[in-house]
Amino acid sequence: EFEERSEILLKDFLKEDRFQAVCAALRMENINLEKCGPPNKRSYERACGDLPAVIGSCMELLRSEAFFLLLSNLTGLKLHFLAPNDE
């Protein structure tokens, strides 16, 4: 599917209880956000300062070597040095 639409769906990637905990923390916690990028394109907000533990652990997972290797294997893109070359 990635080759056809340039997207992948990681259905049920997070366990339901962890997903709900992250959602609840994002709704309830006072997270400081700073605006990044020019306002007319690629504008986004980035969390700064201390994050709730559940969000911190989720961010740690999404930034991990293992996650980049998984994405490399699912997409065929060389996102990690251990990913195979398709050349």
**pLDDT, tens only, 19-38:** 999 999 988 878 888 999 88
**pLDDT, tens only, 46-86:** 888 888 999 999 999 999 999 988 888 888 788 787 777 76
Whole-angstrom Cα distance, residue 46 to residue 55?
13
Q: What is the CA radius of gyration of the chain?
A: 16
Name the pTM for this structure.
0.72
